[in-house]
Amino acid sequence: MYKAVVEVRASEDILMEAKSRDTNGALYCVPVIVKDNIDVQGMVSAAGSIAMESMRQPAQAHAPAVARLVEAGAVVLGHANMDEFALGFRTSSSRGGQTLNAFDKSRYPGGSSGGTAVAVALGLAVIGVGTDTGGSVRIPSSFAGLFGIRPTTGGVPVEGVVPLSHSRDTVGFMAANAQDVATSWAIASGQPWCVETAARNAPRRIGVLPMLLPTESGLGRAFADATTSRAAQKGSGSVFVALAEDAALEEVSRLVAQLSKQKSTSYFEFQDDLRKATGLELASIAAVTAGPCEERLPSSECASVVSTMQKKVHGKLRKREVEMYDLLTRTFPALFEAALTALMRAQRLDAFAYPTFKKLPSRISSGKQQYCANNRLAPSVGWPALTLPLATYERLPQGVEVMVPKGRECLLFEIAASLSA
């Protein structure tokens, strides 16, 4: 068992919904799996929490992003496992237990939308709907050999989602091919015109950010081989460019180094965001989680789950913390976006590229959490990013992430089509 899914809708409900779909819909009868923190009508959105499972009532309606897919003909199968409250990259929760990697069951699947990614990779659904605050769609998509998008922040409605960080949360999509991701994003964002654009090829200059490359030589070679050979093989005119050393690149490198040391915005926002969305207190949820959790996870893992929640519980922010929060949400994003834009102009780039993750997924027996500065880049500036399954290393898929300026998802899908057709 991979423990990818935590709850499946009643079969009669699924069949009834499928029979009622418009046969002309773009997603007619396409099976969809949804992360456990996104509302599905008639189901409890528990965000992986066994405590929330009993504290919350079933959703009265689909979240808007899901409802739009359903209106286009999709059939929702149920909820997928995730990291508890999306606080991690292992897909380990008191509600669903530990999800296993689709390609190596001894390894973590990435997270926090790991259950969604594994369900799609195993063929249980065609499209996966997840959330991405700091990498939670892109990392598990990479580890599962899928395409996965984090859209422009605010581009897809986040109502009906159990929040982690309102300034960074996005609803994203994953699938085995770029066209299904493009279609899902276009429908959920209200931009169906972009579906046709996604099928066109165009010459593009994609700058590889050197400070984000793997330090492990084997992974580095796998990334280099995938990017150079894929662009040449397809003859699409999409070129991965080695960036020249200049002042613009130096400034981006400096800011990336700062980014890797910054505190997560969820520290400042999660507790209050959760209270506003659900009426529940994080401290109370943490207090009643440990016992029931041990029915589904080892006690050491449950202790980690509870400890992670408790670290997000705090009182009134001190002056220094208020200043840090302002830096994270206002000052730094503006500086970083300006630096990235300047680098694009200086070296005539259409997009940036880098490994989605710089390491192989850790083995579950290690108990190690995985972090990487790469996945924090797009959220920090609100730009859309798409991971493409272009590389493999030690028989495991490794994603190449492409990032473009705000609102240019169509360009992402053009690049994906040129490299993966």
Q: Which residues are catalytic?
A: 35, 112, 136
Distance CA 52, CA 75 (A): 25
Distance CA 25, CA 330 (A): 41
CB atoms under 10 Å from CB of 340, counted, come to: 25
Question: How large is the C-alpha radius of gyration of the chain?
Answer: 20
The bridge status of strand 92-93 relative to strand 127-131 is: unpaired
Give the single-character DSSP code of 107.
B
- Listed in order, strand segments (DSSP E) in 123-199 are 127-131, 147-150, 171-175
Cβ–Cβ < 8 Å for 266, 312: yes
Rounded to the nearest 5 percent, the helix, strand and coil shares of the chain are 40, 15, 40
Give me the DSSP letters along 17-73. HHHTS-TTSTTTT-EEEEETTB--TTS---TT-HHHHHHSPPPSS--HHHHHHHHTT
Distance CA 285, CA 305 (A): 11
Sign of CA dihedral 320, 324, 329, 332: positive
Distance CA 309, CA 305 (A): 7
